[in-house]
């Protein structure tokens, strides 16, 4: 099986799915890896490093898509790549297909592709082993983003995130206590901010309360508690995730009006639709916009700001799954690993993920049915 890594065509995407040391692991196991020229430069990896790792350097996207049985990307295919997708090809990336355009879904169905969304690879205990390291990075970046856009020169409130003697710190509200939320809380507490956390899961709230005794104010999330928190927030972080499905809008346009002018919204859930009704995806080179006087930072590929670290995190997390597919073949690999099978969103012209089906209003077929009855 040939594994192909095309260069990202998405504006401001600097990550690469597999860094050279992960490529070296695959080639050492006898797999053929083809990397498009200059794919790793945004993360600081040269073509020479890939060649030393045993990869073949391809000089165009057409070469990669034309040769590869398994195409590995950071994000979903872009429109200029649609014509290059071959029938029956395996695509593996952070696709967030529940929030993707319907034309991409229809194309992948028509061409019978196996679409593996790293976001929905899920272990029996609910753990998301590939998404987790990227979510950890995104959460830990919150203080540096918040500090920048609270500055006066960035149109902010002119508040020092961690405060100073006789000067109170910023009030940071985090909605969602998953991996992003927990890491955002940890990083903001460490930066000296005053932190409020809201989540609907009492167990998660209890865990964070024990982890940061007396340092974090916690609420069970409801419309009334969200409203209360918005009334005093300087920064609000959206960190809500429903694996494989669109994120619900927990903060309406009217509720955004509760925030004071020049406060900041950081919606990390925007790649799955966003948890603010006023959220829309932006890009790193133009990351913010203002609604009702409130600055919105809604960059879907936030970890691309630390492209090298993020590439190492992603590559290490997906290595065992790619190795299994390449060595066993997709059907055997999916039958052997329930977590991997849950990552399949499309297969043999069928939608196989219930969240994706609900988002686009179509039927779905369990992966087990397409594997001949084996239970993923």
Mean pLDDT to the nearest integer, 219-234? 97
DSSP letter for 59, please: S
Burial class (CB in 10 A: 0-12, 13-18, 19+), 268: buried
Nearest alpha carbon to residue 69 among 300, 330, 260:
330
Domain final position from 263, 282, 300: 300
Give yes or no: residues 281 and 316 share one domain. Answer: no
Residues with Cβ within 8 Å of residue 112, at least 6 apart in sequence: 87, 88, 348, 349
Q: How far apart are CA 376 and CA 370, in angstroms?
A: 10
Does 131 score more than 50 pLDDT?
yes
> 190 and 261 share a domain?
yes
The CATH number given to whatever domain includes residue 313 is 3.40.50.720
On whether both 253 and 364 belong to a single domain, the answer is no
CB distance 14 to 280 below 8 Å: no
* pLDDT of 3: 98
Strand order in the sheet with 288-291: 216-220, 194-199, 171-175, 235-238, 264-267, 294-297, 288-291
Query: Could you read off the pLDDT of 318-340 as tens digits, one per residue?
Result: 999 999 999 999 999 999 999 99
Res. 242: pLDDT tops 90? no
Residue at 25 is within a domain: yes
Say if residue 243's pLDDT is above 80.
no
Same domain, 207 and 294: yes
- Residue 272's pLDDT is 85
Coil/strand/helix, residue 347: strand
Lowest mean pLDDT among 120-134, 147-161, 240-254, 289-303: 240-254
Question: Is the domain of 296 the same as that of 281?
Answer: yes
Asked if the structure places residue 376 within a domain, the reply is no
Q: State the DSSP code for 207.
A: H
Sequence-distant (≥ 6) Cβ neighbours of residue 4 within 8 angstroms? 33, 34, 35, 36, 58, 64, 65, 67, 68, 69, 70, 71, 72
Which residues span the domain enclosing 331?
2-120+307-370
Report residue 293's pLDDT band, with 50, 70 and 90 as the boundaries.
very high
Question: Are residues 215 and 341 located together in one domain of the fold?
Answer: no
Q: 50 phi and psi, to 5 degrees?
A: -70, -40
Whether 55 maps to a domain, the answer reads yes
Name the phi and psi angles at 102, rounded to 5.
-65, -30
Domain's final residue, options 300, 324, 353: 300
Q: Is the pTM of this model over 0.85?
A: yes
182 in Cβ contact with 240 (< 8 Å): no
Confidence bin at 355 (pLDDT 50/70/90): confident
Give the chain's domain count: 2
The answer to whether 306 and 284 are in contact (CB under 8 A) is no
d(CA 203, CA 223): 20
User: What proportion of the chain, given as a percentage, has pLDDT over 70?
Assistant: 99
Residue 6 lies in a domain: yes
Same domain, 31 and 177: no
**According to the model, what pLDDT value does residue 213 have?**
92
pLDDT in tens, 136-147: 999 999 999 999
Q: Are 197 and 157 in contact (CB under 8 A)?
A: no
- Which residues touch 269 (CB under 8 Å, ≥6 apart)? 176, 238, 239, 240, 241, 247, 275, 279
pLDDT digits (tens, 9 = 90+) for 69-124: 999 999 999 999 999 999 999 999 998 888 888 999 999 999 999 999 998 999 99
Where does a domain end: 300, 317, 352? 300
Quick one: 155 and 217 in the same domain? yes
Between the CA of residue 193 and those of 112, 169, 268, 282, what are the distances in Å? 50, 5, 19, 26
For residues 99 and 211, the model is more confident at 211
Q: How confident is the model at residue 375 (pLDDT cuts 50, 70, 90)?
A: very low
Contacts of 270 (CB under 8 A, 6+ apart): 238, 279, 280, 281, 298, 299, 300
Asked if residue 125 is part of any domain, the answer here is no
**Does residue 79 sit in the same domain as residue 162?**
no
Q: What are phi and psi of 142, to 5 degrees?
A: -55, -45
Statement to judge: residues 143 and 288 lie in one domain: yes
**pLDDT tier, 219 (very low <50, low <70, confident <90, very high otherwise):** very high
**259 & 179 share domain:** yes
DSSP designation for 58 = E
Q: What is the pLDDT of residue 273?
A: 86
Within a domain: residue 317? yes
């Amino acid at each position: 099986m040939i594994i192909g890594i095309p260069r990202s065509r998405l504006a401001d995407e600097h990550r690469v799915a597999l860094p050279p040391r992960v490529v070296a692991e695959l080639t050492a196991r006898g797999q053929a890896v083809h990397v498009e020229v200059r794919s790793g430069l945004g993360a600081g990896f040269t073509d020479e490093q890939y060649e030393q790792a045993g990869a073949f350097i391809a000089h165009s996207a057409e070469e990669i898509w034309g040769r590869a049985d398994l195409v590995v990307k950071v994000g979903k295919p872009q429109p200029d790549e649609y014509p290059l997708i071959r029938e029956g090809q395996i695509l593996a990336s952070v696709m967030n297909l529940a929030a993707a355009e319907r034309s991409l879904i229809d194309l992948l169905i028509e061409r019978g592709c196996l679409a593996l969304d790293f976001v929905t690879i899920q272990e029996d205990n609910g753990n998301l082993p590939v998404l987790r390291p990227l979510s950890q990075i995104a959460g830990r970046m919150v203080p540096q983003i918040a500090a920048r856009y609270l500055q006066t020169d960035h149109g902010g409130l002119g508040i020092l995130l961690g405060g100073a003697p006789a000067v109170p710190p910023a009030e940071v509200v985090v909605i969602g206590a998953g991996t992003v939320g927990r890491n955002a809380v940890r990083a903001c507490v460490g930066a000296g901010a005053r932190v409020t956390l809201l989540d609907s899961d009492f167990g998660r709230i209890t865990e964070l309360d024990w982890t940061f005794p007396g340092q974090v104010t916690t609420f069970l999330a409801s419309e009334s508690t969200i409203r209360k928190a918005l009334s005093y927030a300087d920064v609000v972080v959206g960190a809500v995730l429903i694996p494989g499905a669109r994120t619900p809008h927990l903060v309406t346009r009217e509720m955004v009006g509760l925030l004071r002018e020049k406060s900041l919204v950081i919606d990390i859930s925007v790649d799955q639709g966003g948890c603010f009704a006023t959220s829309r995806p932006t890009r790193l080179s133009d990351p913010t916009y203002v609604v009702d006087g409130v600055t919105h930072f809604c960059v879907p590929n936030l970890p691309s700001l630390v492209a090298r670290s993020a590439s190492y995190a992603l590559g290490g997390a997906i290595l065992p799954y790619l190795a299994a597919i390449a060595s066993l073949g997709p059907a055997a690999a999916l039958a052997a690993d329930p977590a991997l099978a849950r990552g399949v969103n499309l297969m043999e012209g069928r939608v196989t993920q219930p969240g994706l089906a609900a988002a686009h209003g179509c039927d779905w077929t369990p992966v087990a049915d397409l594997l001949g009855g084996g239970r993923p």
